[in-house]
């Protein structure tokens, strides 16, 4: 039987709840033979993951998840096989993380204006070593008893169009794709089923993405079939994974269930 590859995982270096070591161990237990850790704007987990993977017999591919914008739309782009020591890449990621921090401060200001007394300290406690994002702010709101649930934090304050919503630093998809390519990597449209219509999908294909994340927990079998068709039609690559964040969201049982066969990774590697 072919091994399983999960190419979309998060650690504490972004908004996941597991350490790098814990995540690789869990991946092994879940029967995965190849993984890619794709932290938001961060490649800090890659070296340790490779080392732990070696001891457990799990191959680790360097990865990262970038955010880009088309208008108001937040689009995620996955990069694989990047040189995670590439200076230009590291400088850009550092800049994106700083911008994430400034955005968190702006969100806190908005919350305070709404008489929600959240502090940046409690958000940074949630973020720890990770690139700070709205999930950390949602966790902090929950922890401080300022919302009843994690989801309420988004539906009431943090989600798109809600009163404490703040945009991220705006990067075009082209710029994100070029950055990944300049670091020797390939780029994939992440979870297009979430918020990408056909027009935007075509725009991203024209912008030069190498592939589409076909397998994702948010994709129905019909979506998977649809994106597989697009991949074939445009000679793109297909990837997939669980987008596992450590099991504390609705993802406690997703590890090992969303994957592509090892042979698919060989096809991606061949395109480099």
Give the binding site for ligand AMP (CB under 6 A). Answer: 40, 67, 133-135, 151, 154, 159, 168
Contact 191, 223 (CB under 8 A): no
Among positions 71-100, residues that touch Fe ion (CB under 5 A) are: 76
Residue 158 CB neighbour total at 10 angstroms: 23
- Please tell me whether residue 13 binds Fe ion under the rule CB under 5 A: no
Q: Pick what 130 binds: ligand AMP, Fe ion, Zn ion, none; C-beta below 5 to 8 Å, kind-dependent.
A: none
- Tell me whether residue 9 or residue 58 sits nearer to Fe ion (CB atom): 9
Least CB distance to Zn ion at residue 255 (A):
15
- Tell me whether residue 133 or residue 173 sits nearer to Zn ion (CB atom): 133
Q: Could you give the string, one character per residue 123-142, with x where binding to Zn ion holds by CB under 5 A and - elsewhere?
A: --------------------
**What b/e sequence results for 87-106 when a residue is b if at least 16 CB atoms lie within 10 Å of its CB, and e otherwise?**
eebbebbeebbebbeebbee
- Please tell me whether residue 15 binds Zn ion under the rule CB under 5 A: yes
CA distances from 18 to 138, 212, 247 (A): 18, 26, 9
- Please tell me whether residue 48 binds Zn ion under the rule CB under 5 A: no
Residue 84 and residue 43: Cα distance in Å, rounded? 6
The total number of residues written for the chain in this structure:
272
Which residues, 6+ apart, have CB-to-CB distance to 173 below 8 Å?
68, 70, 75, 77, 203, 204, 207, 209
Q: Pick what 243 binds: ligand AMP, Zn ion, Fe ion, none; C-beta below 5 to 8 Å, kind-dependent.
A: Fe ion
Q: Pick what 151 binds: Zn ion, Fe ion, ligand AMP, none; C-beta below 5 to 8 Å, kind-dependent.
A: ligand AMP
- Please tell me whether residue 10 binds Zn ion under the rule CB under 5 A: yes
**Site residues, Zn ion (CB under 5 A):** 10, 15
**Site residues, Fe ion (CB under 5 A):** 65, 76, 190, 243
């Amino acid at each position: 039987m072919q091994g399983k590859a999960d190419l979309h995982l998060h650690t504490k270096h972004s908004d996941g709840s597991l350490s790098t070591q814990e995540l690789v161990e869990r991946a092994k237990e879940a029967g995965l033979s190849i993984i890619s850790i794709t932290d938001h704007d961060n490649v800090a987990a890659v070296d340790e993951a490779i080392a732990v993977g070696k001891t457990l017999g799990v191959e680790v591919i360097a990865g990262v998840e970038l955010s880009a914008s088309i208008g108001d739309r937040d689009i995620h782009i996955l990069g694989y096989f990047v040189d995670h020591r590439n200076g230009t890449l590291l400088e850009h990621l550092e800049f994106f993380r700083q911008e994430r921090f400034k955005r968190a401060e702006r969100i806190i200001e908005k919350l305070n204006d709404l008489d929600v007394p959240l502090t940046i300290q409690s958000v940074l406690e949630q973020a720890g070593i990770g690139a700070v994002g709205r999930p950390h702010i949602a966790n902090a709101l929950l922890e401080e008893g300022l919302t009843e649930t994690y989801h309420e934090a988004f539906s009431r304050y943090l989600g798109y169009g809600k009163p404490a919503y703040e945009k991220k630093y705006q990067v075009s998809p082209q710029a994100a794709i070029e950055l990944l390519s300049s670091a020797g990597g390939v780029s994939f449209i992440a979870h297009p089923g979430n918020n990408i219509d056909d027009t935007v999908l075509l725009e991203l294909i024209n912008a030069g993405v190498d592939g589409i994340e076909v397998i994702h927990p948010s994709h129905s079998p019909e979506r998977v079939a649809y994106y597989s068709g697009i991949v074939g039609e445009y000679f793109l690559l297909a990837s997939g994974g669980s987008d596992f964040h450590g099991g504390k969201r609705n993802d406690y049982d997703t590890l090992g269930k969303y994957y592509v066969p090892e042979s698919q990774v060989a096809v991606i590697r061949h395109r480099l």
